[in-house]
Structure 1
């Protein structure tokens, strides 16, 4: 797989994540978002584990325990952090802080802790994408800032950044399907007690079951598998910034499927997101040959 295909896989993964909001509008009223996130991980984790067993890709011999647990904890923590933050401080602030902080935190950790400096195009493209995300979401609803909600949103951004960086190291040595299957199965086990905390009767209804299957199989299992495959050839900081295609997809689905309207400011945000992602793609394509030369040396 070359760099271009890897970039496409990361973008498609982000676009699949972007369908979650639209799908959740189809759920019965009163379903708690944390319950949806827990069901999503459970369905996705079980499906991935069954697939990896069926194709015979699971080999736990000499499997690295510590990074796997760290990745699983990060993914498990992201669900309650993000959904609780959105509940406490609103969709606009919660989404902007969680999704917008992830690229910054990923780039800083990759640089300061893992000693891998982000590519040059990352800096400007990340700035453009985050500002675009800010304009897109902050104009959607009234702004209410809750300090604890902000802290939880930052926790969600940090969780996703850690998951991405650790997963990139794992997929260097093990197959992407195996890594995603093991990590998401462990994450589902960690969150399983929440299945007894929230009302889950909605999942027995036809509409609830259909949404759960989409969220688990398509927006989780398939999406994170493609994301992990892309991580093999894309820097983790770049992958997290490219994942900002998620809110972009959600915005377009909201307009064309749900019937929402975007203001002029929101369309400026969409344009900046597209510009930032496009600039990063171009920069990554130019940087890949140079990085390959450095690796050979």
Structure 2
């Protein structure tokens, strides 16, 4: 396989470990603190590595509004993503967050750029929504560590995470088309997002910093799935066609689900498995017709 394929596979595998790694935090650690620490450290690193290009983006007044929108998406995403996995479980939280992103991206294009919602979008949205309904009604089985009562709220937070990531990709894509490099936009948006999230970490991060083990997990999440994975992803999407990117990125929810079952001990009912499959099918139907985004 080419280096671009390996880079994309590496990023997806790293992303797929986030929920399982977070499950090893003590119960006293707030999921909002986990999301805040990941972006605060990872975002600062991404800004530092790309600081020259990122500063050029920050100085562009014409693109500032869209840059702030991209940063706002990256503030919402990690908070909602980790809270979703805390309530609905690693498998459900991960797949809903990832699966809803392309659907929200199409809605943004429809509302802002007046792009028509196609029959393909309608079909994919219907399939994915049916999958989410199955997850809520028949997600986890007996023996699973996840409380079924928290699944609806977890799915709602997963949708919020998907909307946040869609806002980031949509707005950052506009800034890139305005003449800036993908790495510069990524560094600027993630660096800006790290500022308010550092405040969240200061307020809620006490239990996270209480032990060396928790600090180690937080550093892994920031350096692995956040910093290194996005660098790998930028290499992969630069040289691969959209069809290849679409197929490879499905590794992320697959890895997350397998780790949730094998390591965390989550147990999904047959309806839950069917729901996960339907969401992935819906995303594949939609994404197979979409160009890869070079924003990340």
Is TM more than 0.5 here? yes
- Which aligned pairs between 1:1-297 and structure 2 lie closer than 5 A? 13=11, 15-53=13-51, 57-60=53-56, 63=60, 64-83=63-82, 90-91=88-89, 101-117=100-116, 121-136=120-135, 138-140=138-140, 143-144=148-149, 155-172=160-177, 173-200=179-206, 202-203=208-209, 205-225=211-231, 246-280=252-286, 283-284=288-289
Query: Using the alignment, how far apart are the partners of 1:255 and 1:145 within structure 2?
Result: 18
Q: Which deviates more, 175-184 or 241-250?
A: 241-250
Contact 2:37 2:222 in 1 (8 A): yes
C-alpha displacement of 1:136: 4.7
8 Å contact from structure 1 (residues 19, 219) kept in 2: yes
Q: Please give the alpha-carbon distance, in whole angstroms, between the structure 2 residues aligned to 1:168 and 1:69.
A: 13
Asked whether the 8 Å contact 2:96–2:162 carries over to 1, the reply is yes
Unaligned runs of 5+ in 2: 141-145, 292-296
TM-superposed CA distance for 1:73, in Å, is 1.6
User: Given the superposition, is the C-alpha separation of residues 247 and 150 from structure 1 closer, same or farther in structure 2, using an over 3 Å criterion?
Assistant: closer
C-alpha deviation, 1:34, in angstroms: 0.6
Shift of 1:276: 3.8
Structure 1 counterpart SS, 2:123:
helix
Report the Cα distance in structure 1 between the residues aligned to 2:133 and 2:250, rounded to whole angstroms. Answer: 11
2: CA distance between counterparts of 1:175 and 1:151? Answer: 33
When residues 211 and 134 of structure 1 are mapped into structure 2, their CA distance, relative to the original with a 3 A threshold, is farther
Query: Which range moves more in the overlay, 148-157 or 131-140?
Result: 148-157
Work out the number of aligned pairs and report it.
Answer: 277
Name the TM-score, length of structure 1 as normaliser: 0.71
Worse-superposed segment, 96-105 or 107-116? 96-105
Secondary structure of 2:204 counterpart: coil
Q: Deviations over 1:191-219 (max 9, x none)?
A: 22122211435346332232122211221
Task: Please identify, of 121-130 and 161-170, the stretch whose mean Cα deviation from structure 2 is larger.
Answer: 121-130
Q: Secondary structure at the match of 2:50?
A: helix
Asked whether the equivalents of residues 55 and 188 of structure 2 are also in contact (C-alpha less than 8 Å), the reply is: no
> TM-score normalized by structure 2?
0.71
RMSD of aligned Cα (Å): 4.2
